[in-house]
Amino acid sequence: MKSHIVKIVLLSLSIKLAYHIFSLVVLAPNKDLGVNAYVNAMQRNDAAWYKSIAENGYPKLIDKKQLGYVETDSTLQSAWAFFPLYPAIVKAPMLLFHVSFGTSAFLWSLVLSTLALLGFYFFARKFLDSDQLAFFATTVFAVFPFHYYLSVFYTEALFFSLLIFAFIGINNGKWFLFTIVLFLLCLTRPNGIVAILPLFFYYLEKQGVLIGFRLNWKSLINWKNIGISCLFLAGPLALVLYGIYQYQMTGNYMAFGAAQAGWGRRFMFPFMAFFREGDVRMQFNSVYTILVMVYAIYFARKMPLSFQLLVWIGLLLPLTAGSVVSMPRFISMLFPLILLAVYNWPPKLKYQPFIVAALFLLQLGTFYFWVVGDWFSY
């Protein structure tokens, strides 16, 4: 186990180096080959919003319309669409050590992406009951196409780290850890609050209260389960506190939801989001998402209910916004799909390096669009 931990740390750092070399080749810089070049390559798209929040905080608004809108002749977007934990932790080193957003985000990227991989490994050891398979599954998770999002200056590494350690907290009965992690999870991204449901079902499954779709009510209603169930209220408490802050600043308790209008997002039936946009990249996202759905259906009988909820919430909830633009990024967080693949189709040791190499080449192919700033990478 210890050797695997060391290898995972080295793997995480090696992937960063590979990204750096790849971005240098793609962008062909004339002078800067150091950390600044890497920082600039990883600071794309929505990272600008996190930078703005870390440097300036959230704006106080008088008119609720300033939260965001799309009209015929104008569009307004605001920082309120983004949750506060990631910019807050990036701001801490900025204040303490007087460093830039890029430097702080880079340091946090090293920590959080490594923590995400270690958390995945710890959980996979329990699920797969094999250190070697757990290490292989972690490597696959690290190099899988689109999983470069764990290294860019987005919330993915933070969100995944908190999510996987929430599962680990339930596994190991570390309830103080679980409570703190769940509270922070709900301040990281809006879907943190809906992650409470699969986490709670996972707890019931670990206690033998929920087996398949059968719930043992007699086992559920006891003081221990009632007490631990109350810990799951840490998530709603975080959202309530953040809602009060949003109201004080904007007059809207759910400012983050209203701000989505600035990106033209509107609620619709999830499957209506497919093939709405003619661009070939968005068509790819639709096909990719549908294939993942088929894959999830294939494994449905082999997945505990908690995993099924996590996967389907992760797939369907973003689609209700009416776009597939970020679906590969959202799918990258659905770790049960990789665990189930490794569990059901464990490859022979001699084939594992070839599988990892092929996947990483595919990942670099998707990473190209991030490096050049193409909106396929949002």
Q: How far apart are CA 283 and CA 290, in angstroms?
A: 11
327 in a domain, yes or no? no
Residue 303 forms part of a structural domain: no
Residue 261's pLDDT is 85
Question: What is the C-alpha separation between 123 and 58, in angstroms, rounded?
Answer: 36
Residue 71 above 70 pLDDT? yes
pLDDT in tens, 78-130: 999 999 999 999 999 999 999 999 999 999 999 999 999 999 999 999 999 99
Q: What is the mean pLDDT of the chain?
A: 92
The three-state secondary structure class of 75 is strand
In a domain, 326, yes or no: no
Residues 6+ positions from 153 with CB-CB distance below 8 Å: 42, 43, 47, 50, 51, 102, 105, 106, 109
Mapped onto helix, strand or coil, the DSSP state of residue 76 is: strand
pLDDT tens for each residue of 171-210: 999 999 999 999 999 999 999 999 999 999 999 999 988 8
Question: Residue 262: inside a domain, yes or no?
Answer: yes
Torsion of CA 77, 78, 82, 88, to 10 degrees: 150
H runs (alpha helix) in 194-262: 196-206, 217-220, 223-231, 234-250, 255-258
* pTM confidence score: 0.95
Residue 18 has pLDDT above 80, yes or no: yes
Helices and strands of the chain, counted as H and E runs: 18, 4
Q: Which of 35-44, 214-223, 230-239 has the highest mean pLDDT?
A: 230-239
Instruction: Provide the domain limits for residue 131.
Output: 2-267+353-377
Where residue 266 falls among pLDDT bands split at 50, 70, 90? Answer: confident
Q: Is residue 341 part of a domain?
A: no
Q: Does residue 200 sit within a domain?
A: yes
Whether residue 166 contacts residue 180, with contact meaning beta carbons closer than 8 Å, is answered with no
> Could you tell me if residue 217 is inside a domain?
yes
Q: Note whether 122 and 8 are within 8 A (CB).
A: no
Contact criterion met (CB below 8 Å) for 156 and 192 = no
| Residue in the block written with tokens 């992690």 | 181
- The total number of structural domains in the chain stands at 1
Better-predicted residue by pLDDT, 337 or 269: 337
pLDDT(30) > 60: no
Mean pLDDT of 225-242: 94
Q: Is residue 85 one of the residues assigned to a domain?
A: yes
Question: Would the pLDDT of 378 be above 90?
Answer: no
d(CA 217, CA 209): 7
